[in-house]
Amino acid sequence: MNYKTVFSYDVAQEFCQASTTRLRLLSTLLRAYLRKSWQRLLGTIFHDLVPFQVKKTAAAFYTSVLTAELLAWLSINNRDSKVADFVAGSGGLLVATYRRKRNLLEKEGKFSEADHRRFVENELLGVDVVPFAANVASATFPMAK
């Protein structure tokens, strides 16, 4: 597959400056009120703002939070599992994976900063061909903690 067209397309160019400013303000306000729903909100924004033709070309479709959580809980049975998501999108599966691994660790004892660091640096990998999606995932993932 030739990813040149995917990498060369600037999704941000589709938004006018006024829309971008409003989105930043809206996201700041909503973050304060919807801390637990932030991941879902970012995924929805990602999915709704990317033009359909871009989503179709890049096969960029949002995985719901419930689906990501279900996948993580069904597939991860060991807190030391390593996970790679090569179509990370808004980071939903990585966040669900982090939560599942943390849950398994908390059943055995206490979750520490060292565990968090190990998860992030050595056990979870997210990649996406769409740079905009990678930015959304970068913003979403810290909220898993």
C-alpha to C-alpha distance for 68 and 105, rounded to whole angstroms = 19
Residue type, 39: Q
Residue 5 has pLDDT above 60, yes or no: no
Count other C-beta atoms under 10 Å from residue 106's C-beta.
Answer: 12
Residue type, 140: T
Count other C-beta atoms under 10 Å from residue 110's C-beta.
Answer: 7
Residue 124: domain span? 4-144
Q: Scanning the structure block, which residue is given the tokens 């589709």?
A: 14
Higher pLDDT, 4 or 92: 92
C-alpha to C-alpha distance for 72 and 92, rounded to whole angstroms = 10
Is the pTM for the entire model greater than 0.75? no
The predicted pLDDT at position 127 comes to 86
Number of domains in the chain: 1
pLDDT digits (tens, 9 = 90+) for 16-72: 666 677 777 676 666 555 555 555 666 666 666 666 776 666 666 667 777 888 889
Higher pLDDT, 48 or 92: 92
